[in-house]
Amino acid sequence: MTHFEGLLLGASLATLDAPAGYGEIRDGALGWRDGVLTFVGPRTALPGDPHALAREVIEADGWITPGLIDCHTHLVFAGDRAAEFEMRLQGASYEAIARAGGGILSTVRATREADEDALLAQSIARARMLVADGVTALEIKSGYGLDFASERRMLRVARRIGEALGIAVRTSYLAAHALPPEYAGRADDYIDAAIDWLPRLHAEGLVDAVDAFCEGIGFSPDQTRRLFEAARTLGLPVKLHADQLSDLEGAALVAEFGGLSADHVEHTSEAGVRAMAQAGTVAVLLPGAFHVLRETKLPPLDLFRAHGVPMAVATDCNPGTSPLLSLRQAMQLACTHFRLTPEEALRGATVHAARALGLADRGALRVGMRADFVQWNIRHPAELCYWLGGRWAEAVYAGGHRLQEPL
């Protein structure tokens, strides 16, 4: 019996299987069987003739990294808000755009009006672009439905995307994203409704985690706490849009619940950072929104480093504030705006992103891990953050299967 279903030889491996450094292995060998890595090391360490060991032997060059993981997206939605982008550039305020029928509620209207197949067709095209640039797992949030049927439809589409593309998709229930017009002035009543919907959606296998937008223009810490308590009753992990525009102590709140991640975190205090460190909560940096909104308040990066808080990097792909369809570009923006090193950015999109989704079986090249990896046409891993744009992924593998060339 062969040792490996597949064996990839010759490329350099960036294993990321150590606390620091790329974990570089030159002239490497990567073997897998049943969707799991069974050999990671130099070619010279193979226990025999490669062609006698493997069903398929692939000679390669360049670099192999773990598959990229986009741990924060709003990928499923209908329509776009390109006209609002133009209005903002011409000086229109958020309030003026909202009065003109724009803002998040314009996406809610379009998403509510789209049937499931139409929503899938629009959304899967965006997912294919992420896969083409190296993504093998991603998180997709609801939150543009804001009623039971539309939230359910969004989550069903997210599941269908994963099945159709052969990648892992983790879903987050984000009904507490904005207040729908039918609940104007009744935020507490809306939270009651969102709490009522949650067990029904969870029972259908549509929810992997619970999220909320805890902000002055979103939902209060008390309202967020009520939702998180409902999630805890169901045994669901939580994550949070925290401290993006102000410090409402959202990072500390999600850490109190042992949350997977606090996301955005531009205004998080040192007390919040300490709470995250104690709870093991990941800081998810979203430089796309920082870039598009032309923000100036940096996340507390030095505090995250000092207290050992892992920093993930994600696209925050959404139609309003981060229309970003490349996780590699998000890594580049994290280096440019946040001064992450290329190694930190790559870890942020692999090792730490996996942790932010509660995925312990991927994010590094190590025997026993899922065989999710990317072959890149580069001479050094830093190039993944160096190039602005371009197509550098030669091949993308998920569970040991080469993914179809995205359209």
Binding-site residues from annotation: 72, 74, 81, 144, 177, 241, 244, 316, 318, 320-321
- Those residues whose C-beta lies under 8 Å from the C-beta of residue 86, and which sit 6 or more positions away, are none
Instruction: Could you list the residues known to form a binding site for N-formimidoyl-L-glutamate, using ranges.
Output: 144, 318, 320
* Both structure tokens of 345: 């950015």
Q: Three-class SS of residue 28?
A: strand
Query: What residues pair up with 137 in beta bridges, in sequence order?
Result: 69, 168
Please choose, from the candidates 34, 37, 28, 23, the residue with its C-alpha nearest in 3D space to the C-alpha of residue 8. Answer: 28
* Other C-beta atoms lying within 10 Å of the C-beta of residue 373: 31
Cβ atoms of 248 and 266 closer than 8 Å: no
* DSSP 8-class letter at 382: T
Which residue ranges are tagged as binding site for Fe(3+)? 72, 74, 241, 316
Using alpha carbons, list the distances in angstroms from residue 51 to 34, 56, 375.
18, 8, 20
* CB of 144 closer than 8 Å to CB of 76: yes
Backbone angles phi, psi at 164, to 5 degrees: -70, -35
Cα→Cα distances 372→37, 177, 229, 378, Å: 9, 31, 34, 18
Q: Which two tokens stand for residue 225?
A: 């706490």
The binding site for 4-imidazolone-5-propanoate consists of 81, 144, 177, 244, 321
User: DSSP secondary structure string, 286-311?
Assistant: -HHHHHHTT------HHHHHHHT--E
CA distance 259 to 219: 17
Rounded to whole angstroms, the Cα distance separating 195 from 62 reads 49
Q: Which residue ranges make up the annotated binding site for Zn(2+)?
A: 72, 74, 241, 316
